[in-house]
Amino acid sequence: MIAVIGGGVMGASIAYHLALKGARQVVLLERGTMCCGETARSGGFIQTHWSSLAETRLIDFSRSLFQQWGERCGWVNSGYLHVTGPEKLESVRTVHEMLLSDGKESQWLDQRGIKKLQPLMRVDDLVGAAYEPQSGWADPVATTLLLATLASERGVELREGVTVLQIVHRSGKVIGLETDQGFLEAEKVVLAVGPWTPGLHPDPRVQLPILARRGQVCYMTRPGGLPRRELACYDEITGLYSHPDGETNLVGIDWEFDPVYHPDRCDRQLDVDYLAAALQALTHRFPSLRSSQLVRGVVGLYDFTPDGHPVVDGPLGIEGYYVAAGFSGAGFKSAPALGLGVAELVLEGRARSVDLDFLRLARFSR
Ligand SMILES: Cc1cc2nc3c(=O)[nH]c(=O)nc-3n(C[C@H](O)[C@H](O)[C@H](O)COP(=O)(O)OP(=O)(O)OC[C@H]3O[C@@H](n4cnc5c(N)ncnc54)[C@H](O)[C@@H]3O)c2cc1C
């Protein structure tokens, strides 16, 4: 039996890929209902404009799966626009060049090109933008439920309402799980419970440097009509990120991520200061949206590691024990590729289709 713990996008993707690769006797355990955790709060951005080449490859691989799943995962191929002023010009250009040299699509736009693409955007303080026509966003809940359904159709047992209390091991080997509904035998266990991961990690000799932090995002009304293009964008000057979401706009801003000492005791109220700053940034970049009003605020938990990359590794200290966590606010966009990689790691001892070597835990001891 292979037990995957955590019914978020990561656990669902791992379970689906295990089944796709022919694994039998796979169970996906979720303490609530599928996708009741942090994935449900995700903005769903999918763009390859990211700092590490290895991670952009995982995102690129994942993006092709999102494209393939299309409407079933709420995929919106809007394009992604990353605008910058003079201060961050060099770093944005560096990522743009990195993508081009790796054969990925990225276009460089000047003020006029930006305005043509997004006429609502104020451009006088911008010096350029990297534009990815193939990117966009997908619906995190639809994606997770799709993967769980596909997994179930291929024989994975989905068990909701089961809380795992402990991963049990003997003589250096996993033997099963203690749950609130009794003991479950398993030779292999994949721990994918996002910010709850350190609490279930079974080996005190191996430190998992994952810290839960609180992050926020707003959904606002869209006065002044819809943007002509449903673009996803990030603004290096104000820290604003946005994309339309149904009748609202997702409006986020770079903000302090406060540490959370227990993931079940996180303040889920949006900060008024955050809302004010997000609205100011939105108004600066999109003046016609100045009378936007808050529809709902979302406060979520990010599972951060010191270098912003997840830990995807195993067996880790104990035979049969694997971890996929620490996604640092970016796990959704790479979940399809990571699910495949973890399935290969568990079944074949090594991820062959994608590179997971850079995500090993040992990098922190180096
Ligand atoms: C506000 C916000 C916005 C984000 N925006 C983006 C974005 O735009 N793009 C992007 O790529 N990423 C984004 N992310 C990050 C991304 O959403 C996460 O990295 C990803 O969803 C993590 O998925 P997961 O499956 O690891 O965790 P989760 O979805 O949290 O799943 C873990 C599951 O484990 C379950 N669980 C916990 N303890 C137990 C237990 N003891 N027994 C059984 N089950 C248990 C929980 O109930 C939960 O359902 C965002 C995150 C947040 C919070």
Closest atom of ligand 1 to CA, residue 241? 8
The domain limits of the chain are 2-41+140-207+307-364, 80-133+211-304
Q: According to the model, what pLDDT value does residue 366 have?
A: 67
Q: Which residues of the chain have pLDDT under 70?
A: 225-229, 366
CA distance 118 to 229: 6
Q: According to the model, what pLDDT value does residue 227 have?
A: 64
Q: How far is the CA of 222 from the centre of ligand 1 (A)?
A: 28
Give yes or no for residue 11 CB within 6 A of ligand 1.
yes
Give yes or no for residue 7 CB within 6 A of ligand 1.
yes
Q: How far is the CA of 33 from the centre of ligand 1 (A)?
A: 13
Q: How far is the CA of 287 from the centre of ligand 1 (A)?
A: 33
Nearest to 10 by CA among 335, 360, 359, 337: 335
Scanning the structure block, which residue is given the tokens 């108004």? 283
Chosen CATH of 2-41+140-207+307-364 out of 3.20.20.80, 3.40.50.2300, 3.30.300.20, 3.50.50.60: 3.50.50.60
Q: How far is the CA of 129 from the centre of ligand 1 (A)?
A: 30
Which amino acid appears at position 122 of this protein? R
pLDDT tens-place string over residues 67-78: 999 999 999 999
- Coil, helix or strand at residue 100: helix
Q: According to the model, what pLDDT value does residue 148 have?
A: 98
Q: CATH homologous superfamily for 80-133+211-304?
A: D-Amino Acid Oxidase, subunit A, domain 2 (3.30.9.10)
CA distance 363 to 15: 26
Q: According to the model, what pLDDT value does residue 69 have?
A: 98
Q: According to the model, what pLDDT value does residue 104 have?
A: 96
Against a cut of 0.85, is the pTM above it? yes
Nearest to 241 by CA among 333, 145, 137, 115: 137
Closest atom of ligand 1 to CA, residue 325? 26
Closest atom of ligand 1 to CA, residue 45? 8
Give yes or no for residue 9 CB within 6 A of ligand 1.
yes
Closest atom of ligand 1 to CA, residue 34? 49
